[in-house]
Amino acid sequence: MKVLVIGSGAREHAIAHTLLKGGGVSEVTVAPGNPGMERDGIRTMKINPENRMALIEFVKANGYDWVFVGPEVPLVEGIVDDFTEAGIKAFGPTRKAAMIEGSKTFAKSLMESRGIPTAASRTFTDLDSAQAYVVEHGAPIVVKADGLAAGKGVTVAMDERTALDALQSIFVDRRFGIAGMSVVLEDYLEGQEFSLMSFVDGERFWPMPISQDHKRAYDGDEGPNTGGMGAYSPVPQIGDNVVTAAIDTIVRPTVKAMADEGNPFTGVLYAGLIATDEGPKVIEFNARFGDPEAEVVLPLLTSDLGEAIDDILNHREPTFTWDEDHAVVGVVLAAEGYPNAVKTGADVPLIDIDADSHVFYAGVEIGTVEEDLSGAADSDSFVGTANNITGTTSTMLKTVSQAPLAASSGRVLLLASRARDIHDAQVRAYELLDAADTTGMFYRHDIGAKALK
């Protein structure tokens, strides 16, 4: 099989790497991808995900069997609908189904209608009403921009002033643009958070091992929220009984509700959960693989990802098997200043990995001037025709090998290490990172620490 993956980050690198590793997929191209992926023999093609016509032509002209959509923005904007209309199979939810991530108000309404456990909340569309509610409710309280905000639209306010400042930032400063046209204020929940992702086909679903993300920028969960500074899987301090309860009271009824209401979900459903004294509750839903969760869960997959996705797309019974004897710890290397005033351009270290470690690249670019063979340096302007892309994939795609890389955005890469338990995986990951020259970048030193207490 030949597969096209949409996206450019470490999540898409992990997806493409896992597809190739399984054996059922012989060729993977990532659009637009990044040059770090090419070190794994993954092809990249500079087509902007917004350029649907170019993507559709490229898929048809080069004989891809199906498409795997990684990021949330194209999903919420309806890229799967466009592929389907063009007769192309795509793994991901439709625009309507992706609203479970695209609108927190939509997700809250769905949960409330089905009695799915989550924090009590109110939605506001103006600053004055929202501020009045904060003063009345008090802190701690959670402030969420309603729409997509790249994982940075949530403020856990432990005091009233922080909540009021967050509302000011959303409504007046327009920090998140249209994503902040409305705001969800919800009760603060106590407990450990964890991520439960599932492959879904309508009312059928297949849960993955759980993982735990680290959102704050600095050690000890200090600093601003980020898109994620690292993760690990499994999460031994979250008992099997909690996971079973989450599947029965959250995942199953959510999948059924989506189907019942005419928006059946296909793809990866991400449930961001918290284990409270009253049982697991929903913090958020995503309509795709978490990032960085994908980079620590997929290395535990022992079956063929490509064959399983092909089965789901053809409504057959897929096979998923998981390594239950090992753990994976993944640490993000980020550019200085992330997530606010990011300083790009730092040299990306070539980390000396071993058989149980892997580097998944995200915000990287070629560090020296190189001839661009993609034919589409300006990805927004590329449209392509069947004549100029048929049979020419190999000449249009960059082959970089070990060319030097430079940091081009906030999250630069994730180093994932696998070992017999969280402790050993953590030790190995930090041995490799500590030995690298990470000038101009930073990383947390406590990924996985909650599992070791």
User: 118-136: per-residue pLDDT in tens?
Assistant: 998 888 888 988 989 899 8
Pair 167, 154: CB distance under 8 Å: no
pLDDT of residue 151: 61
- The pLDDT mean for the chain works out to 90
- Which three-class secondary structure state does DSSP give residue 331? strand
HSE, side-chain direction, 13 A CA sphere, residue 84: 14
Segment holding 101, helix H or strand E = helix 99-102
The whole-angstrom separation of Cα 159 and Cα 164 is: 9
User: 381-391: per-residue pLDDT in tens?
Assistant: 222 333 333 33
Q: Show the tokens assigned to 86.
A: 């063009």
Please give the class, per CATH, of domain 191-321: alpha beta
> Can you say how many angstroms the Cα of residue 34 is from the centroid of all Cα atoms in its chain?
16
Q: Show the tokens assigned to 47.
A: 């087509």
Look at the block and give the residue holding tokens 């969800």: 184
Q: Where would I find the H helices in 23-78?
A: 52-62, 72-76
The whole-angstrom separation of Cα 112 and Cα 126 is: 23
Q: How far is CA 187 from CA 155, 252, 281, 437, in A?
A: 12, 24, 12, 43
- Strand-pairing partners, residue 186, are 121, 142
Contacts of 240 (CB under 8 A, 6+ apart): none
Q: Show the tokens assigned to 154.
A: 């949530």
- Check whether 158 has a pLDDT greater than 70: yes
- Check whether 380 has a pLDDT greater than 50: no
Total length of the chain: 453
The whole-angstrom separation of Cα 196 and Cα 211 is: 7
Pair 135, 158: CB distance under 8 Å: no
Mode of pairing for the β-strands spanning 327-335 and 411-419: antiparallel
Pair 101, 285: CB distance under 8 Å: yes
- Structure pTM? 0.89
User: What's the mean pLDDT in 133-158?
Assistant: 83
Contacts of 28 (CB under 8 A, 6+ apart): 2, 3, 4, 5, 16, 19, 20, 42, 43
Which of these, 108, 119, 279, 290, lies nearest to 182 by C-alpha position?
108
- Strand-pairing partners, residue 225, are 216
Pair 272, 97: CB distance under 8 Å: no
* DSSP code per residue over 187-250: E---SEEEEEEEEEETTEEEEPPPBEE--EEEGGGEEEE-S-SEEEE--TTS-HHHHHHHIIII
With cut-offs at 50, 70 and 90, classify the pLDDT of residue 375.
very low
Topology (CATH level 3) of domain 325-368+403-453: Glycinamide Ribonucleotide Synthetase; Chain A, domain 4 (3.90.600)
User: 14-38: per-residue pLDDT in tens?
Assistant: 999 999 999 999 999 999 999 999 9
The whole-angstrom separation of Cα 167 and Cα 195 is: 27
Q: C-alpha angle 131/177/170, rounded to 5°?
A: 20
Where is pLDDT greater, at 144 or 412? 412
Pair 100, 38: CB distance under 8 Å: no
Look at the block and give the residue holding tokens 């769905």: 110
Q: Where would I find the H helices in 336-421?
A: 386-389, 393-396
pLDDT of residue 150: 66
Mode of pairing for the β-strands spanning 357-361 and 216-218: unpaired
With cut-offs at 50, 70 and 90, classify the pLDDT of residue 192.
very high
CATH number belonging to the domain at 120-187, selected among 3.40.50.300, 3.40.50.150, 1.10.1200.10, 3.30.1490.20 = 3.30.1490.20
pLDDT of residue 144: 87
The whole-angstrom separation of Cα 375 and Cα 353 is: 33
- Which three-class secondary structure state does DSSP give residue 360? strand
Q: Where are the domains of the chain?
A: 120-187, 191-321, 325-368+403-453
Pair 40, 444: CB distance under 8 Å: no
The whole-angstrom separation of Cα 102 and Cα 286 is: 8
The whole-angstrom separation of Cα 173 and Cα 411 is: 24
Q: DSSP class of residue 412?
A: E
Which of these, 338, 60, 71, 384, lies nearest to 223 by C-alpha position?
338
Count of CB atoms situated within 10 Å of the CB of 99: 20
pLDDT of residue 152: 66
